[in-house]
Amino acid sequence: MTAVILPQEIILAEPRGFCAGVDRAIEIVERALAKFGRPIYVRHEIVHNTYVVNDLKERGAIFIEELDDVPPGATLVFSAHGVSQAIQREAERRGFQIFDATCPLVTKVHVEVAKLHKEGFEFIMIGHKGHPEVEGTMGQLDSGIHLVEDVADVAHIQPSQTEKLAVVTQTTLSVDDAADITAAVVARFPLIKKPKMQDICYATQNRQDAVKVMSPQVDIVIVVGSPTSSNSNRLREVAKKLGTESYMVDHADELKAEWFEGRSRVGLTAGASAPEILVKAVIDRIKALGAVSVRKMDGIEETVKFPLPKGLRIDQASE
């Protein structure tokens, strides 16, 4: 009888897990709860992670999609993904106390769109239809912004003019896919204006690069992340495209023993919205299946930190 090969070693991608934008968004909700008490209302999931959302719910956060569900005078937090101008204006009109947890790298895209719009530009946005970040960015304008999800879409968009066109990108896309789509956009509209720095955020890029290094060294890749998390889904896709079997799990209970049969080296990473506590639980589960060692890859150490909104900072004497 042939012995079944079980996992022996876990290799941890570096970097993985929380990014500065996610850290900031969660801290905004935590500080709002500490300062103003429960409940605090949050439009959309603060970040796309089930564990994080459920933890904040238990502490007094109420997650809503429609502003009609927020009572007068309440404190409202916008999620890390950003909101449209219409939502922003309506929330202000209703007089809520607002704290904006939009990731500063998403805000940078919003600012660029507003600036170029004033100069007469239309936009082609590369992103996933229905994703809250895409809805927020496209909602910075009433018209003149056209969404493309893949290379095939590029042939079908019809801007009203081509002299002043600019391209913007959802921050959590696959770096390689975005590059392919951008190339198709440039081929069709050679004069299109590209951002000085790419819109895909540093954390998305770094985590994808780490998976690219890790995948050839392992027999299977496990990504910790929730199904709604764009950047987590992209990590699984990156590994798969490199020919390494890959699975995404929301928590350790979703791991299946048969995934690891015949696979001795397990690569493990986590999306930018997945906390380290979930990674540790997955490590424990894989150890229970036979793994005896855990090795952390060398990788970029991220030192980015974003400031909190005025009104929530600890160092403000007036608070």
pLDDT, tens only, 13-57: 999 999 999 999 999 999 999 999 999 999 999 999 999 999 999
Picking from 220, 205, 204, the residue whose alpha carbon sits closest to that of residue 264 is 220
**Looking at the structure, do residues 216 and 289 belong to the same domain, yes or no?**
yes
Does residue 69 sit within a domain?
A: yes
On the question of pLDDT at 316 being above 60, the answer is: no
Domain-ending residue, one of 68, 103, 138:
103
Check whether residue 208 and residue 257 sit in a common domain.
yes
Spot the catalytic one: 45, 133, 149, 237: 133
**Would 194 be classed as within a structural domain?**
no
Report helix, strand or coil for 236.
Answer: helix
Question: Residue 3: its pLDDT value, please?
Answer: 56
**Same domain, yes or no: 175 and 231:** no
> Does pLDDT of 318 surpass 70?
no
Is 308 among the domain residues?
Answer: no
The answer on pLDDT for 96 being more than 80 is: yes
In this structure, what CATH number is given to the domain that contains residue 235? 3.40.1010.20
pLDDT more than 70, % of the chain: 97
Per-residue pLDDT tens for 296-307? 999 999 999 999
pTM of the shown model: 0.94
- The reply to whether 213 and 280 lie within a common domain is yes
Q: What is the pLDDT of residue 268?
A: 98
| Distance, CA of 237 to chain centre | 15
Question: Which positions make up the binding site for [4Fe-4S] cluster?
Answer: 19, 103, 201
**107-132: b (≥16 Cβ within 10 Å) or e:** eebbebbeebbeeebbbbbbbeeebb
Residue 246 clears pLDDT 70, i.e. is over it? yes
pLDDT of residue 315 exceeding 70: no
In the predicted model, is pLDDT for residue 191 greater than 70?
A: yes
| Helix and strand totals (H; E) in the chain | 10, 12
Do 39 and 125 lie in a common domain? no
> CA 276, CA 279: separation in Å to the nearest integer?
5
Q: Per-residue DSSP letters for 70-126?
A: SPTT-EEEE-TT---HHHHHHHHHTT-EEEE---HHHHHHHHHHHHHHHTT-EEEEE
Mean pLDDT score of the chain, rounded to an integer?
95
Asked if 235 and 182 sit in the same domain, the reply is no
Annotated binding site for isopentenyl diphosphate: 48, 81, 131, 229-231, 273
What backbone torsions phi and psi does residue 83 show, to the nearest 5 degrees? Answer: -135, 165
Task: Taking residues 106-127, report their average pLDDT.
Answer: 97
Average the pLDDT over 110-116 and give the result: 97
> Does a structural domain hold residue 178?
yes
The pLDDT value recorded for residue 7 is 83
Residue 283 domain boundaries:
9-18+202-296
CA 221 to CA 239: how far, in whole Å? Answer: 7
CA-based angle 267:227:200, to the nearest 5?
75
Q: What is the mean pLDDT of residues 206-218?
A: 98
Q: How confident is the model at residue 5 (pLDDT cuts 50, 70, 90)?
A: confident
Q: Is the pLDDT of residue 317 over 80?
A: no
Task: State residue 70's pLDDT score.
Answer: 98
Are both 235 and 168 inside the same structural domain? no
Concerning whether 119 is annotated as a catalytic residue, the answer is no
- The mean pLDDT of 219-229, rounded to a whole number, is 98
Q: Note whether 144 and 228 are same-domain residues.
A: no
The verdict on residue 315 lying in a domain is no
What residue numbers does the annotated binding site cover? 19, 48, 81, 103, 131, 171, 201, 229-231, 273
Count of the separate structural domains present in the chain? 3
Residue 312 forms part of a structural domain: no
SS3 281: helix
Q: Is residue 302 included in any domain, yes or no?
A: no
Same domain, 122 and 75: no
CA 140 to chain centre: 19
Domain termination site, one of 103, 130, 157: 103
Residue 82 belongs to domain with CATH number:
3.40.50.11270
Alpha-carbon separation of residue 91 from 42, 64, 138 (angstroms): 12, 13, 18
Q: Partners of 294 in the beta sheet?
A: 10
Whether residues 266 and 290 share a domain: the answer is yes
In the listed set 143, 165, 188, which residue is the last one of a domain according to the structure? 188
With respect to residue 140, please indicate whether it lies within any of the assigned structural domains: yes
Whether residues 176 and 221 fall in one domain: no
pLDDT of residue 115: 97
Q: Looking at residue 314, what is its pLDDT?
A: 62
Question: What is d(CA 113, CA 11) in angstroms, rounded to the nearest whole number?
Answer: 40
Instruction: Please enumerate, by residue number, every residue annotated as part of a binding site for dimethylallyl diphosphate.
Output: 48, 81, 131, 229-231, 273
Rounded Cα distance between 158 and 271, Å, is 35
Together in a domain, 119 and 65 = no
Write down the pLDDT at residue 197. Answer: 85
What are the pLDDT digits (tens) for 120-155?
999 999 999 999 999 999 999 999 999 999 999 999
